[in-house]
Amino acid sequence: MDWSYSSQITIKNGKVVSLRYPAYEDAAELREYINRIVAENTRILLDHTVTLEEEQAYVSSFLANMNKDDAIKLFAVCDGQIVGAADIRRQPFKQRHVGLFGISISKDFRGMGLGRELMNVLMKRAKEVMGLEMIILSVNAENEAARALYKSMGFLESGVTPKAFLQDGTYEDQVSMYKML
């Protein structure tokens, strides 16, 4: 893995955001970031806040997978705080050419072009560094903004799983999408 990657972008609100790979030392800041996202009660899979120990274990495991070229993660950092994170994880066995995509963006940075930029850079790196040929993702059917973003980036819907997501006591559908790289 080429660990030297980093870049800077200016998003729609005029702020400069750095995109970079994670480091073990990011665990505490990542914990703060993800717990802010969980507190918003957004439509992400994680449904509880995490401890520092849990986040340190997660970061260690993710970095080990990056070292094996089985995963890639980028952070978006503004004014010293993580404001976005996106990753792709290689699927196992006969699906090693496929990566599973995930993303989250801080509330104040949504709609600023940051998600699109993170996705573009991450998919390019996944193809170049990991040799992936396809990206898949799942999104809550009610998350219209995310679905619109994914469609605008060339993702196609491949199916719907009814009642696969429990949000505030209500079951919601999950949409599967894919894109060839």
Give 55-113 pLDDT, tens digit per residue.
999 999 999 999 999 999 999 999 999 999 999 999 999 999 999 999 999 999 999 99
CA–CA separation, 70 and 76 (whole Å): 21
Q: 55 is written with which tokens?
A: 């986040």
Closest alpha carbon to 112 in 44, 40, 16: 16
Mapped onto helix, strand or coil, the DSSP state of residue 166 is strand
Closest alpha carbon to 121 in 72, 175, 63: 72
Report the CATH fold assignment for 6-133: Aminopeptidase (3.40.630)
Higher pLDDT, 62 or 45: 62
CA–CA separation, 118 and 139 (whole Å): 17
Mapped onto helix, strand or coil, the DSSP state of residue 113 is coil
Q: What are phi and psi of 117, to 5 degrees?
A: -65, -45
* pLDDT of 161 above 60: yes
Q: 37 is written with which tokens?
A: 């996202």
Q: 153 is written with which tokens?
A: 């980036």
Dmax (CA) for the chain in angstroms is: 44
